[in-house]
A and B are shown apart, each in its own frame.
Chain A
Amino acid sequence: MQIDFHHAVTYVIARLAGFGPREAALVAHASQYVDDATEDGTILFSNGARYSRISSAHKLLDYRNFAALAASRVWLPFHFLPGNMGLPAGEEPEGPFINRLVTIPNSAVARDVVRAAIADRDAPHALHRLGITMHVYADTWAHQGFAGLQHAVNGATELTNEDGGPDQPLVERLKNYFVNNALPLGHGTVLSHPDRPYLVWAYTNGLGERVTRNNPDDYLDAAEHMCRALQCFRAGDPDADAPGLPEADRVTLQRLLRDVREPDGEGRHAAWRREIAAGAFGFGPEELAYVPKGPGSWKGAALGEPDGRGYYEYSSGFLASDWKRFHDALILHRYDVVYRILPRYGICTA
């Protein structure tokens, strides 16, 4: 999924789940920022204070990124959550281990990640973590069938578009995309096909099986489940009987997921924001913006600009800044996924 869904649609879903505009904007901002938090390392302050953060994406959101360890640290917990072949914790599936790393929509693992975010709802970073969780949860639909590491399981050939014909522009691009017989990572072999909400497409997987994908269907399913998860967060109960999307708004989402067809994420993001501003949803017309970096961004507000030596001036508001809380939440999310949740499923990863 791209900025259109991770930011604009996530904002819509959060509003429909009952969050106010500022809370929903925070959740949506954190959800999108997972794709934009590309830098790790330690921030040095001129007063001697320090802050270490991890990244949740690579500098270019590029599925060619073949740094194996970086891939498993970033792609796996934040973009390609292992699905344990659909089995609940404590049940060991048959077959090779790699199959357990394949992403499955709304898997028991994914629902445990949502539970962990709800359990953290009283923390200062609660909504930032909720946004990160919504990113990961949504991607279990978009990235289904792929794993967040280099493996033949991610192989894909014979791509066709919604007309059933070969996707020739994509085939041409792929010719120059993978070099040196490198193994495919995530859905790199199909590039952005899983990320475009309106697309119905097909490919042949690494096992020679023909796989058809219906993105508008999957994205609507994701939106419904995300709305319930957000309502459960609000109720403070992961098992609450959440109603999900209001029926009229569900239909609007269903139709817009097919109608908004700009080929790039930025174009679709602008189109969704226009719909939100036009009052397409039950909460009425609202303006929505996203500043990923520079002045007005979370990072800009928290840190400002470094001095000539690379040191930042420490401000008393740093500890409560959205940027710091987001990065705290990234660490906690990753810790819970890698050290608490996946081991319950017998999955050990970096």
Chain B
Amino acid sequence: MRASAAWLALALLLPACDKGGAGPAPSGSSTAAGAAPPGPTSSGSRGTGPAPAGSASSAASAAARDALARAVDGAAFKPFFPAPGLDGTTEKVERAPKGGVMEVVYKKGKDEVATLVISDTATDPRVRDDYQGATERVGGHPLKTSGYFKSALLVADRYQVQITSPRVKAEGRKAWLEKVDLKGLAALK
């Protein structure tokens, strides 16, 4: 019992390690990983040689932490997602919200028909620049289309509402965006 408790405490304290990582390891992994030259610390690399090590206090991670602190919690977006129904969808699967983002998958049976993501551009304000020159609007908000499968709105110059679908066309994706509570989202502080 005590040994189990000690193991549990150790497992909680230690960072992810080779044999188990942070979760259950695949049963075949130890053999595969064990025969893995070169490992991540091996010398030599493609082209330019080993990357020089930088400071352990990364500027990139600090900037991300600051940005995240300015963003709303993703759970705050939950009330604005529509109920299923469009394009024959019958089920709404909510992904666990994260800082500044929440995702909901709309399904018809086992088939994923559309995915809606609401995010706070405070995590990277450059996202707002992507809407410059937008010629279309939905509910008064600028609309951008990316590729064949994605459309997005910028609400209140801060929140991005994005729909991705492997088969709903651009006009159909607009209908999905109109179903989002855009007024409620615009009022979110």
Contacts from A to B (Cβ < 8 Å): 3, 11, 15, 17-26, 29, 83, 85-88, 104-108, 121-128, 144-145, 164, 200, 211-214, 217-218, 221, 231, 233-236, 241, 243-245, 247-252, 254-256, 258-259, 266-267, 269-270, 273-292, 296, 298, 301, 317, 320-322, 325
Chain B residues whose C-beta falls within 8 Å of the C-beta of A123 in the assembled complex: 28
CB of B25 within 8 Å of the partner chain? yes
CB of B10 within 8 Å of the partner chain? no
A74 → B minimal CB distance (Å):
21
Q: Apart from A123-B28, A287-B50, what are 8 other A-B pairs with CB-CB below 8 Å?
A: A23-B21, A104-B148, A212-B144, A236-B26, A251-B100, A274-B54, A287-B41, A296-B43
**CB-based nearest A residue for B126:** A258
B147 close to A126 (CB less than 8 A): no
Interface string of B115-143 (1 = CB under 8 A from A): 00000000110110010010000000000
Q: Is the interface of B mostly helix, strand, loop or mixed?
A: loop
Separation of A266 and B34 alpha carbons in the complex (Å)? 28
Contacts from B to A (Cβ < 8 Å): 15-29, 31-48, 50-61, 63-65, 67-68, 95-96, 98-101, 110-112, 123-124, 126-127, 130, 133, 144-150, 152, 162, 164-167
A252 close to B60 (CB less than 8 A): yes
B133 close to A164 (CB less than 8 A): yes
> Would A23 and B24 be within 8 Å (CB), given that A211-B147, A285-B53 are in contact?
no
Chain B residues whose C-beta falls within 8 Å of the C-beta of A236 in the assembled complex: 24, 26
A210 → B minimal CB distance (Å):
9
Chain B residues whose C-beta falls within 8 Å of the C-beta of A292 in the assembled complex: 46
**CB-based nearest A residue for B168:** A86
Chain A residues whose C-beta falls within 8 Å of the C-beta of B130 in the assembled complex: 200, 214, 217
